[in-house]
Structures are given as structure tokens and as C-alpha cells.
Structure 1
Amino acid sequence: MAVALTAGAAAGALAACGIPDLGTGGREDGGPVPPGAKAECPKIAEPGDSKARQLRGMWIATVGNTDFPKAAADKQKKAYTRLLDTAKAMNMNAVFVQIRPNSDAFYDSPYEPWSQWITGTQGKDPGYDVLAFMLKEAHARNLEFHAWFNPYRVSRQDDVKKLPAKSPARQHPDWVRKYGKGLWYDPGLPQVRDLATKAVMDVVTKYDIDAVHFDDYFYPYPEDGDFPDGATFKTYGKGMKKADWRRKNVDTLVQSLSGRIHTAKPWVQFGISPFGVWRNKSSDPAGSRTSALQSYDDIYADTRTWIKKGWLDYVTPQLYWPIGDPRADYAELASWWAGQVKGTGVQLTIGQAGYRVGEDPTWKKPAELSRHLTLNARYPQIRGDVFFSASDIASDRRGFASRIRKDHYARPAIQPVVARRGGKAPPPVQDTTATPATADAAGGKGVKGVKGVKVTWRPSQGATSYGVYRVDGEHPGCAPADPARLIGDVRGGGIVDPAAKPGHAYTYYITALDRLHHESRPARGATVTAPEG
């Protein structure tokens, strides 16, 4: 894995990660040029959205301190950055970070109190902007940041009076319903939709996030009795059936938020990770051959409509069952979801159950999740996977994460193009150079002691990151950006390649990418011989 020179300490932990031998080859399409010369490759086509492109991510859950500790600020920061380093070591390229778990905030919100999952006390200022820190560190590692919001959940306990004075639920108890062991906003109230919209748009406008993300919590999962929204239904139902009215309430929020987000910042994606079963075929001919809880009927989330209407940029169904499960077979659901997005332009990624590894005889097999990714390759509509959760990836229980890296994530991947949001490839980079890097030359905080090859280039206007491709041997002309030769997708103007073998000659090609992953054609390569040890 290449080390980004500009990532500083954020990249230091990556230097020990080796880059696989990418072999020899590379088609020349022009003569050699001196290192540092301004040179483009006009005869080489832009790479396009190849099948090798994947989103590879993990959820970082903060509710209940699942993946984020209640601790002093310095310990929290170290714990979070360790998870990011784990993601990079796994050759992942995105994190999905929960920043509004319980009508609260991981930033200084004008609408809601500070989250209890930071300090242990809701409303207590942690002394730093947690979201700004999280975002900066993710981007330093070129990890796409999906800001994860829960739109309706208020509290895991059911006493409104225990909430801080700033809580909208405390100020407007008439918006709140007790259900199960917790508190929920009533999705049928326009004021609730307005609050959720304000919370999301506050983050979209103030922070440089890459996406807004919702998970599967809309109306609460069924417990004893029906959700107590009878009075709201009487006021706003307008002759509809209650189930249809509830779905309409959720549809309204999803549709309106999609429009608001993309009007404010067209490049910010909007995605949802629903429960893995929309409807069973026994209930609807359009459903899947399953016999499980149905998100359409039980939590009033009509994901299929959201896809068909184009309100989402991506959908990440939580397929938390093994292959062959009699109630909900992973293979059946992967095929069903691929069929739903086909031809829509909505990107499909799959939510994978890292947390289940070791649970029962099936999940004790460390290869089960690797088998899921192998099966995914049958469907061109499936463009990647997101794992729940980060702590499970870090713990590598029974070696499942190591198996995934070995079988599927051995080299980095650029994310698929977000085609529905416009954008275009930046101009190609110029002034590519490749020079031997000793420990001193590599230098700088975070890459101290790294040896190998130092590659630099002049940043391209409009580029967010840069694809770095390595070919064995001297090929100083032009070559296509072959995904099999990608060694990094980094921010800034240079990298150190610590895996370059001493005494071997290599040629490096650089491409420029915008934040929606449109990729320029590569610049002419720069050739160098890696220094002897």
C-alpha cells in the first residue's frame, strides 16, 4: 500500500502494509520523456467505470459506544484513528460514521444537544468538534465519509424528563411516543420531518461530508402492541389506510431530503441501508423468495419505491443471513436486490454481518463472508460491501477479515462513478517524477523510516484524489490505467511506495479523480530503479 506524503501521521501506520507483486507489462503509446516533463497521453482513453471498481466500507457505530469509546478526548481520537488505520490496512475506501444516533449530535448543533455517547452525559460539551476531527482524519486517509443519521430515534430509555433541556424531545414532548423500552419521534408529524431535515442540512452545509446515510430505523421494529400514533393518524390520515399513511410519511422525508441535499451540494450522495427483505413473495409477487420480517409492512420502509423513483444514490441492504439460510438465503437476496437496481442508476452495495461471525456453526466458518463476496461477482449491479461493524473488522474474529483481505481486497480499489450526480474527470496531472526514497528522503512525520520509491506530481485542478499505478520495468511512455496495477488512491501531490523491491525498475502512472470518482487519463509514466536496502 502506498503511503501518501501529505497524510502525515495519519499514514504512518500504513507503511508496513506490503503491495502485492503486480507483474510486468504495460502498453507504450509514446516515447520516453525526461522526469518532470509536462506530458499527457492524449491517445489513451479515460479509464471509465470498470468492474474492478468497488466501494469497500465499514460502519462505525457510536450508539451504545459500540465502536467509539466514552473516554477522554485524546483516547477517543486514538481509538477512532486506529479504526481508520484498520480500514486502510484492509484496502477499504469508505467509512459510515454515526453522528446523530439519538436526536443528538457529534458536533455543536443549533437544534440538538451533544451526544451522550461522547462524554456519557447528553448535552455535555466534549471540548472539541468531534465531527470535524472525524472528517479530517478520514479524508487524510482518502476514506470517503458517509455521515450516518437516525431520523426518528430519541432515546433508549423512556422518560422524557431525563433528557437535557436543549433536547427538542424535552421541549416538545407532544412529538414523542413511548414504544418498547425507548422514545421515538412520531414520523407522522410535519414538525418531526422538519427537525430531521434541519439536522441533516445543518451538517450538509457546514461540513465537507461525502454522503448522508440512513440505516434501517424508520418506524420502530414491532414490539408489544402497535406504535401509538392514533391521534396523529386521525389528524393527518385523510382517509388513507394507516399502513399506507405511515409509508407515505417516510416516503415524504426521503424524497424531500434527497431534493434538499442535492440542491445544496449536488456532489453529496444520499444513501440508505434498509432491512434486507422488502417483502416476501408470499405477500407480493414482486418480493423475494424469503419468509422473514418485511420492511415494507413492519417498519413502513418502501425501499423499492425509493429506488424506482431515483430518490437515492445508493442502497445498501443489510443481508445479515448466510448462504442457504432457509428463511432468508443470502444468495436469493443478492440476486433480488441486483434486479431492483438494474437500469435505475442507483448503486447497490451489500451490508455484511461481521458481527455475526462465531455465532453458530455456519457463522463459525471464517470463509462465510468471503463466500458472499465471491457470489456478489455474479452480479454486475453489486458494486461493493459495507461491514458491520468496525470493531468486528478490527478484532478479526476467527480470521474472517484477514480472509476477506486475502481473497478480495489484496490491492486497493477506486470507487464506482456516482453517475447520476454529474461531474467529469479532472485534467490529467503533469510533472510526474519518481525518485529513490531513503529513510531521510522519504522523511516527514508519519513516513519516517520508509524506504522505496518517492512519486510526486503537480496536482490537477478540480481533483480530489489521485490513482497511482505501478508497472514493472521501464515503460516511460503512456499506458492505460489498469486496475490490476493500482497501488493507491491518495490525496495530495505524492506518495512513497515502500513495497518497491530494491534494485528493481518500475514505471508509475498517475490519474486524477474528482469526488464522484470520474478519472482522468493517465499522464506519461516516470521510471525509476528502487534503491538497494
Structure 2
Amino acid sequence: MKLCLISRNWRQLHRVQRFRGRELKRLFPFFVLISFVTALLFNSLTPTIAQLPRPEIRGVWMTNNDFDTLKNRAKVQDGMTQLRRLNFNTIYPVVWNSGYVMYPSAVAKRAGIQPFVLRGSDGHDIVADLITQAHRQGLLAIPWFEFGFMAPPTSELALNHPDWLTQKRDGGETSISAAGEVVWLNPFHPKVQQFITELVLEIITQYDVDGIQFDDHMSLPHEFGYDKYTVALYAQETKNSPPTNPQDPAWVKWRADKITAFMVQLNQAVKARKPQAIFSVSPNYYDFAYKFQLQDWLTWVRQNIVDELIVQVYRPNLQNFVATISRPEIQEVQQMIPTGIGVMAGLRNSPVPMQQIHSQVRAARERGLGVTFFYYESLWNSAPEPVTQRQAGFQTLFSAPALRARATVE
């Protein structure tokens, strides 16, 4: 009986399978079409999906102009509390400015730079206190290596190490920047590279930081590079003298590539010391950065040495601002790493109204970009509107939290 049932069931199963086989063959072209359409839709959505897990950058730079706040523990605590309440998630405190560090540094001391450390009102370490207070509020603290290769000509760094400086073709050693008259450390010189690397490793080792940031001064104005060391190095590698035109494309590329090679080494050194450290870069827009500052940051991103990009776009005109943040290289980078725009919140002698800030932040966020403001005091303490009105304005900008989780130390 069981054998008959098994035989009958087997025949029925065989007929069902043959029927299903014919149906599958008939429907096969339909399945192929569905698969093709699904693949197209998936590929078109992939960039957007890739960005979803990345918390939006909502940061602020903390400069020397913020010293009255930074030296006071109570003000720092209040400031970090306010930033968290207004749904910020990152601070970028300056630690390298005007040829001096803002913390006790054995590296600076070895370079003959007398201790010039900004101490708090009770003699405390400002950098340590700031990082501690930020972390208590769930904010990331990424020290800002503001001056990069730039230094005042009267700084001890420049006076003690004249062989570390580069120069223009006419022998001039200075240029005019937003910080006034400055000289430039030679980014191609091994001793300069060693000094910068040691400073960076010192700050990420000495403090519980979440990363390190380099801005548009981790570069070199295109007029420079005609010092004896660089001329000899160029001749050794190319068998030619540097072109007289500082914007000669090959000459620009050679110097930019050298800076890129150093940044690769610097990234490797940072990651070897603290693998989870965020290697952040905040340059000018690419066309200007490369042609005039030899800063090929797009290549840095493509070579995977940048973990976060914040492009400085200080434009009062909204149309110019939007045009700059819509450039293709920014669209490319934001598919790969967290990307933000540097927005001007105001200067001492040039306050920025909240309406301008609102329109620029809105434009950036509509394009999937985060924002970082320059600088802390101008957010609301030194602003054209009252403090409460400014803070209310930022509250409407960031109505919900966007916390950036601290990476686990390996």
C-alpha cells in the first residue's frame, strides 16, 4: 500500500515539476527584465544609501579670538553645554598658531621655541580642559593645526631655523595672508617634515583627541619653492632648473605631488599611533587650492588619506556660495567621506547676520553637506543679534541631534 501511494505521489510530483518547468521557461524573460530593472535602481540609489549612516558634521572652530572663553573653566563648560543643547557635534580647537603651540610641548622646546602656552585662569591646561568638557557633552574634539607650514617672520621658529624657510624667485621670503605678513616653512625639507610630524604625533598622543585637522595653510603659495634646497632637489629629479613661471603646470604639479607624498606619510604616522583618529582637512575650493596653494586635496581623498573634508566657503553672496558648494569635486568627495562646508559666522569687525547664516546652512544641508562655523565667539557672543535670538536661530537650524560616536581605540 505504501509503495502504491509512493508511486502515485511520485507521478503527481513529476507532473507538477514538468508544469512548473514549462511555467518557469515561459516567465524567464520576465524575470530577466525584473532583475535588470532592479539592478539599475540599486546602482542609481547606491550613492545616497552610502551617505545615510554618516552623521552630519555640525562643528565650530575655536580660535585665539575665543581665548576669553577658553581660559575660563566655567565658560568652557557652559559653552560645551550650549553647543550640545543646540545639536552641534564637533569642536575644532586651535593648537598650532603663529609658530607656537597652545600646550606644553617637548617638540617645540627641542626646536628652540620658548614655552608659549596659553594657560587657563587658574593655570590649568586649556586644551586638556576643553577636550574633557567636550567629551562630557558627547562632542568630538578634533584639534586644529591652523598655521600648517606658515609662521610669522618674527617668530622664534623662523628666526632659529632660517634654513627651514622657502623663498620666491626674487629671494623674498614673506607673503601677505589673513594673519598678516608670514614666512613659509619648506614643505619639501626633511627637517621641516620631521618637525611637523613630531608636533602632530605629540598632540594626538598627549591628549584624548578624536583626530587632527589641517587647513588651507598645510600648503605653499605657488610663488614659493625657489630656495636652494628645493632648486637642487628639482634639478636632481628632473635634470632641469625650476621654470621661471611659478604657475608652470609641470612645476606646480611637481611641488603639489611632493606635498601629497608628505601628507601620505603624515597620515600613516598618525594612523600608526592612533588608528581611529580622524584625519580631517579643511582647504579652500579645489581649483584655487591646487593652482595657487599647491594643495591637491582631491588626490588626498582619492588616495584614502582623508577621513573628513570641510571646504572653506566664506562668501557673503548666496549665489556665489551655492555655485562653489555645488562643484563636481565636492559632489565626488561626499560620496566617499563625511563632507562639510566652512561657513562664516562673523569676524570681530565684520559681523554676519543670522539671515545669511540660515540661507547658507540651508543651501549646504539641501545638498547633503554638513557645516562648520568660523568661529565660536561669533556664533552668539559677538554677533549683531542678541545672544538669545542667535541661539534660537541655531536651534531652528539643527532641530534634532546628530551625534557622532567616538571611535573605539584599538
TM surpasses 0.5: yes
Shift of 1:253: 2.3
Q: Which residue identity is paired with 1:395?
A: N
- Give the equivalent residue in structure 1 for 2:23: none
Counterparts of 1:386 and 1:355 in 2: how far apart (Å)?
13
The answer to whether residue 363 in structure 2 is matched with residue 375 in structure 1 is: yes
- Give the equivalent residue in structure 2 for 1:387: 373
Counterparts of 2:133 and 2:318 in 1: how far apart (Å)?
39
What TM-score does the superposition give when structure 2 sets the normalisation length? 0.71
**Identical aligned residues as a percent:** 19
- Give the equivalent residue in structure 2 for 1:351: 342
Question: Secondary structure in 2 aligned to 1:272?
Answer: strand
- Give the equivalent residue in structure 2 for 1:99: 95
Counterparts of 2:220 and 2:119 in 1: how far apart (Å)?
26
Counterparts of 1:188 and 1:359 in 2: how far apart (Å)?
37
- Give the equivalent residue in structure 1 for 2:67: 68
- Give the equivalent residue in structure 2 for 1:411: 400
Give the stretch that moved more between structures: 128-137 or 190-199: 128-137
Shift of 1:204: 1.8
Which is helix-richer, 1 or 2?
Answer: 2
The answer to whether residue 115 in structure 2 is matched with residue 129 in structure 1 is: no
Counterparts of 1:332 and 1:342 in 2: how far apart (Å)?
16
Shift of 1:298: 0.9
Shift of 1:51: 7.0
Which of 333, 338, 350 aligns to 2:324? It is 333
- Give the equivalent residue in structure 2 for 1:173: 162
| Contact 1:233-1:242 within 8 A present in 2 as well | no
Shift of 1:203: 1.7
Which of 272, 280, 288 aligns to 1:271? It is 280
Matches for 1:166-205 after TM superposition, within 5 Å: 167=157, 169-177=158-166, 178-180=173-175, 181-205=181-205
Counterparts of 2:312 and 2:200 in 1: how far apart (Å)?
22
Change in CA separation of 1:218 and 1:137 when aligned onto 2, cut-off 3 Å: same
Shift of 1:267: 1.1
Change in CA separation of 1:330 and 1:210 when aligned onto 2, cut-off 3 Å: same
Q: Whose Rg is larger?
A: 2
Give the stretch that moved more between structures: 177-186 or 108-117: 108-117
Q: Any idea what the Cα deviations from partners look like across 1:278-301, whole Å, max 9, x if unmatched?
A: 11xxxxxxxxxxxxxx11111111
Q: Which runs of 4+ in 1 moved over 6 A?
A: none
Change in CA separation of 1:414 and 1:175 when aligned onto 2, cut-off 3 Å: same
Change in CA separation of 1:89 and 1:194 when aligned onto 2, cut-off 3 Å: same
The answer to whether residue 285 in structure 2 is matched with residue 297 in structure 1 is: no
Unaligned runs of 5+ residues in structure 1 are 1-47, 121-125, 280-293, 416-512, 517-533
Q: Which residue identity is paired with 2:298?
A: R
Question: Secondary structure in 1 aligned to 2:342?
Answer: strand
Give the stretch that moved more between structures: 77-86 or 404-413: 77-86
Change in CA separation of 1:92 and 1:261 when aligned onto 2, cut-off 3 Å: same
Shift of 1:115: 6.3
- Give the equivalent residue in structure 1 for 2:59: 57
Counterparts of 2:349 and 2:356 in 1: how far apart (Å)?
10
Q: Which residue identity is paired with 1:372?
A: Q
Which is strand-richer, 1 or 2?
Answer: 1
Shift of 1:406: 3.6
Q: Which residue identity is paired with 1:184?
A: W
Counterparts of 1:145 and 1:254 in 2: how far apart (Å)?
21
Question: Secondary structure in 2 aligned to 1:311?
Answer: coil
Shift of 1:410: 2.4
Counterparts of 2:231 and 2:257 in 1: how far apart (Å)?
15
Change in CA separation of 1:131 and 1:396 when aligned onto 2, cut-off 3 Å: closer
Shift of 1:409: 1.4
The answer to whether residue 159 in structure 2 is matched with residue 151 in structure 1 is: no
Q: Any idea what the Cα deviations from partners look like across 1:383-408, whole Å, max 9, x if unmatched?
A: x2110000101326244843642432
- What RMSD, in angstroms, separates the aligned Cα atoms of the two structures? 3.1
The answer to whether residue 310 in structure 2 is matched with residue 316 in structure 1 is: yes
Counterparts of 1:311 and 1:53 in 2: how far apart (Å)?
19
Counterparts of 2:105 and 2:348 in 1: how far apart (Å)?
37
Counterparts of 1:92 and 1:305 in 2: how far apart (Å)?
29
Q: Which residue identity is paired with 2:149?
A: Y
Counterparts of 2:376 and 2:345 in 1: how far apart (Å)?
9
The answer to whether residue 407 in structure 2 is matched with residue 515 in structure 1 is: yes
Counterparts of 2:261 and 2:225 in 1: how far apart (Å)?
20
| Contact 1:100-1:148 within 8 A present in 2 as well | yes
Q: Any idea what the Cα deviations from partners look like across 1:1-32, whole Å, max 9, x if unmatched?
A: xxxxxxxxxxxxxxxxxxxxxxxxxxxxxxxx
| Contact 1:55-1:414 within 8 A present in 2 as well | no
| Contact 1:250-1:301 within 8 A present in 2 as well | yes
* Number of residue-to-residue matches in the alignment: 327
- Give the equivalent residue in structure 2 for 1:246: 255
Q: Which residue identity is paired with 2:100?
A: D
Q: Higher relative contact order by CA 8 Å / sep ≥ 6: 1 or 2? A: 1
Change in CA separation of 1:76 and 1:235 when aligned onto 2, cut-off 3 Å: farther
